[in-house]
């Protein structure tokens, strides 16, 4: 087992920045560049040349040219390539973890776990791609047989969020490729080398030329070109609700399939029969994972009044044990926020909550050190008018509010137009089953915190998204259904 990588080792192996077009790395680009920042120090890791209009067009042309052969490549052969990608990701786990800690700031153990999660997505898609069976439908005439056939939707335009530097792009790449689609993916500008590393591995593992291209550059320029192009037939996006709505509108106006995994503001219902100490400890670990920068992060804690004070005390004690620091440092359990703008957002949420009468149990301030570090923060007695009750903080802030009845809890959980993930903690099976039925969310997790694994669909309802990625449903998102009949 390799030892944990140091910052110096990771910096020494930081790759050059550029574009991956039709399997070929290009270090050139336009005159404009974007700075890639280490969030633990605020220092520049490198400057990425921004994709030019010509590079964008070449990536689209490559996807179009490669699609006919890739869609007809037997699913078992596509699966072999994807399985090699999964194996290679695992073989290079330390190299990839080092890139994630540098570019996104997560702590080392979380980075290693993300490599395994991403590898699992490629592995699952490799296996599931060969199970696109379709079905035979009995005809109404004796000599007629009907079939529902599954086919790849076509070249895909993909956009992912920075907070899962390997899992977010892997979910899109693996699903689309397993379905027989080609794909042009715009890398999140905060973590470009993490994404380019996955693309390089895919090419190295035998992916044909043109099947995948990865672009780095201005989001508006690239998204406009990819969505408007007659080449692309589907648009997949992970990110904010506002941007997702805009991209979905653009896609639908051209009758292109929108696959949208958008923001959440996950409620947690803790009933008075729950194990207070156990749930509070695990709640703190889950809330502050990746510094709370997870779309399915538990955020709005609604705790039954009989245990409310005890739960606050227990979660506060667990929060005090969180070690904030650089992800390369041994013992760190929470890293920095991605950029200065997120620090300012956290300060705004805390100030507003205090003005609205909330109590700061712990945290609430920026840490006085280089980089973008904010204290793990618990806010108690948070009213419904506070911003943090209505807007996803996407950071290390947990708000706590008491409730009295089951009906109150469900009403609080469902009051927002968001529905990505919800969490329930109870030892009562009847309560658990009722909550699964009553909560308006794409993912309802009872007595646990893991909202997604490669085998399960992941997507939201209401304003949290359209369709699902991951699992069998994720493969279907990149496929058309064709009815055929033979007489």
In a domain, 301, yes or no: yes
In a domain, 271, yes or no: yes
Residues 6+ apart with CB under 8 A from 417: 462, 463
In a domain, 37, yes or no: yes
- 36/42 Cα distance (integer angstroms): 10
Same domain as 282, residue 241: no
In a domain, 366, yes or no: yes
Same domain as 297, residue 162: no
The shares of helix, strand and coil residues in the chain, as percent rounded to the nearest 5, are 40, 20, 35
Prediction pTM value = 0.96
| Closest C-alpha to 42, from 290, 293, 334, 342 | 342
Instruction: Note whether 343 and 337 are within 8 A (CB).
Output: yes
Tell me which of 114, 123, 261, 440 is the catalytic residue. Answer: 261
In a domain, 208, yes or no: yes
Q: Alpha-carbon Rg of the chain, whole angstroms? A: 23
Instruction: Note whether 272 and 310 are within 8 A (CB).
Output: no
* φ, ψ for residue 213, nearest 5 deg: -130, 145
H or E element that contains 80: helix 75-91
CA 477-144-75 angle, 5° bins: 35
Sign of the dihedral through C-alpha 102, 107, 109, 113: negative
- 82/135 Cα distance (integer angstroms): 25
- 477/469 Cα distance (integer angstroms): 7
Same domain as 368, residue 482: no
| Closest C-alpha to 171, from 198, 201, 189 | 198
Pairing of strands 183-186, 212-215: parallel
What would the pLDDT profile of 273-314 be if each residue is shown by its tens digit?
999 999 999 999 999 999 999 999 999 999 999 999 999 999
Instruction: Note whether 182 and 67 are within 8 A (CB).
Output: yes
With both helix axes pointing from N to C terminus, report the angle between 75-91 and 167-179 in degrees, rounded to the nearest 10.
160
Indicate the average pLDDT of the chain: 97
Same domain as 338, residue 478: no
**Residue 65's CATH number:** 3.40.605.10
pLDDT at residue number 28: 80
In a domain, 250, yes or no: yes
pLDDT at residue number 2: 55
| Closest C-alpha to 476, from 247, 234, 123, 309 | 234
Same domain as 298, residue 197: no
- 84/220 Cα distance (integer angstroms): 34
What would the pLDDT profile of 117-174 be if each residue is shown by its tens digit?
999 999 999 999 999 899 999 999 989 999 999 999 999 999 999 999 999 999 999 9
Residues 6+ apart with CB under 8 A from 468: 261, 442, 457, 458, 459, 474, 477
Question: What's the structural domain count of the chain?
Answer: 2
- 449/378 Cα distance (integer angstroms): 18
- Paired residues of 257 in beta bridges: 234
Residues 6+ apart with CB under 8 A from 436: 424, 444, 446
Instruction: Note whether 23 and 195 are within 8 A (CB).
Output: no
- 239/245 Cα distance (integer angstroms): 10
**Residue 313's CATH number:** 3.40.309.10
Same domain as 334, residue 349: yes
Same domain as 316, residue 271: yes
Note if 375 is an active site residue.
no
Same domain as 189, residue 52: yes
In a domain, 1, yes or no: no
Note if 123 is an active site residue.
no
Tell me which of 181, 194, 295, 326 is the catalytic residue. Answer: 295
How many Cβ atoms from other residues are within 10 Å of residue 140's Cβ? Answer: 7
Same domain as 311, residue 433: yes
pLDDT at residue number 30: 72
Residue 124, both tokens: 């699952």
Instruction: Note whether 187 and 212 are within 8 A (CB).
Output: no
pLDDT at residue number 1: 45
Q: Which domain holds residue 328?
A: 266-453
In sequence order, what DSSP letters do the residues of 149-188 get, joined into one string?
Answer: EEEE---EEEE--TTSTTHHHHHHHHHHHHHT--EEEEPP
Instruction: Note whether 228 and 150 are within 8 A (CB).
Output: no
Same domain as 358, residue 221: no
Residues 6+ apart with CB under 8 A from 451: 266, 296, 420, 421, 443, 445, 458
Same domain as 182, residue 64: yes
pLDDT one digit per residue (tens) for the chain, 487 residues: 457 889 999 999 999 999 999 999 999 877 789 999 999 999 999 999 999 999 999 999 999 999 999 999 999 999 999 999 999 999 999 999 999 999 999 999 999 999 999 999 999 999 999 998 999 999 999 899 999 999 999 999 999 999 999 999 999 999 999 999 999 999 999 999 999 999 999 999 999 999 999 999 999 999 999 999 999 999 999 999 999 999 999 999 999 999 999 999 999 999 999 999 999 999 999 999 999 999 999 999 999 999 999 999 999 999 999 999 999 999 999 999 999 999 999 999 999 999 999 999 999 999 999 999 999 999 999 999 999 999 999 999 999 999 999 999 999 999 999 999 999 999 999 999 999 999 999 999 999 999 999 999 999 999 999 999 999 999 999 999 999 999 9
In a domain, 26, yes or no: yes
Same domain as 309, residue 361: yes
């Amino acid at each position: 087992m390799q030892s944990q990588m140091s910052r110096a080792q990771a910096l020494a192996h930081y790759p050059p920045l550029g574009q991956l077009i039709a399997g070929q790395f290009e270090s050139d680009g336009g005159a404009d560049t974007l700075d890639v920042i280490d969030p633990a120090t605020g220092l520049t890791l490198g400057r990425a040349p921004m994709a030019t209009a010509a590079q964008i067009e070449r990536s689209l042309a490559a996807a179009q040219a490669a699609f006919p052969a890739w869609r007809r490549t037997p699913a078992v052969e596509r699966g072999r390539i994807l399985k090699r990608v999964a194996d290679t990701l695992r073989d290079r786990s330390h190299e990839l973890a080092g890139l994630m800690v540098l570019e996104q700031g997560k702590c080392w153990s979380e980075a290693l776990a993300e490599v395994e999660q991403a590898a699992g997505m490629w592995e699952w898609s490799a296996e599931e791609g060969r199970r696109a069976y379709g079905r035979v439908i009995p005809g109404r005439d004796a000599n007629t047989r009907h079939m529902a056939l599954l086919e790849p939707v076509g070249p895909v335009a993909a956009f992912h969020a920075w907070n899962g530097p390997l899992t977010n792009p892997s979910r899109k790449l693996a699903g689309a490729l397993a379905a027989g689609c080609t794909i042009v993916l715009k890398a999140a500008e905060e973590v470009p080398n993490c994404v380019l590393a996955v693309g390089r591995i895919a090419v190295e593992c035998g992916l044909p030329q043109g099947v995948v291209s990865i672009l780095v550059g201005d989001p508006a320029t690239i998204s406009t070109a990819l969505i408007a192009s007659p080449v692309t037939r589907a648009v997949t996006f992970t990110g904010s609700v506002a941007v997702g709505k805009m991209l979905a509108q653009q896609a639908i106006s051209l009758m292109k399939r929108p696959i949208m995994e958008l923001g959440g503001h996950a409620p947690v219902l803790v009933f008075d029969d729950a194990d207070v100490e156990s749930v509070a400890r695990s709640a703190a670990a889950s809330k502050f994972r990746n510094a709370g920068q997870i779309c399915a992060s538990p955020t709005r804690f609604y705790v039954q009044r009989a245990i409310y004070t005890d739960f606050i005390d227990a979660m506060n004690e667990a929060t005090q044990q969180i070690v904030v620091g650089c992800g390369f440092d041994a013992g760190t359990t929470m890293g920095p926020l991605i950029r200065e703008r997120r620090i300012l957002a956290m300060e705004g949420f805390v100030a507003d909550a205090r003005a609205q009468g909330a109590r700061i149990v712990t945290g609430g301030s920026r840490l006085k050190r280089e980089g973008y570090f904010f204290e793990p923060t618990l806010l108690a007695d948070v009213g419904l008018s506070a911003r943090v009750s209505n807007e996803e903080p996407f950071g290390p802030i947990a708000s706590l509010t008491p409730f009295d009845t089951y009906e109150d809890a469900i009403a609080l959980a469902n009051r927002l137009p968001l529905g990505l993930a919800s969490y329930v903690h109870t030892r009562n099976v009847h309560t658990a089953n009722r909550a699964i039925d009553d909560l308006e969310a794409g993912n309802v997790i009872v007595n646990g915190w893991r909202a997604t694994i490669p085998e399960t669909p992941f997507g939201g309802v209401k304003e949290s998204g359209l369709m699902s990625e991951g699992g069998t449903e994720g493969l279907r998102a990149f496929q058309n259904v064709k009815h055929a009949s033979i007489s």
